[in-house]
Amino acid sequence: MGTSCLLHANTLIGHDVKINDFVTIVSNVNILKDVEIGSYTVISPNSLIYPDVKIGKHVFVEPGAVVKESVEDYQTVKLKND
């Protein structure tokens, strides 16, 4: 885990997860195995990050979003109502 990260309550982090500097992970987030999270990323409450995903730097994951594939830098991952 990098420097100056903030993890809120009820966050589950799987094995082999790399969290870079200044990442904020809010309550009730599940991050499964083999995930990399770039610097200055915010993961909002009730989100799910699938295995083998790389999230770039300065990414914002909206509340309740499900991240199934990698995300480029400076993107917003929106909640999809399928």
pLDDT in tens, 63-74: 999 999 999 999
Tell me the CATH number at 34: 2.160.10.10
How many helices (H) and strands (E) the chain has is answered by 0, 12
Q: pTM score, two decimals? A: 0.93
Per DSSP (E only), the strands in 4-79 are 6-7, 12-13, 18-19, 24-25, 30-31, 36-37, 42-43, 48-49, 54-55, 60-61, 66-67, 76-77
Average confidence (pLDDT) over 39-57 = 97
Question: Quick check: is 69 in a domain?
Answer: no
pLDDT at residue 75, rounded to an integer: 97
**What is the count of structural domains for the chain?**
1
Question: Quick check: is 23 in a domain?
Answer: yes
Handedness of CA 60, 51, 3, 38 (dihedral sign): negative
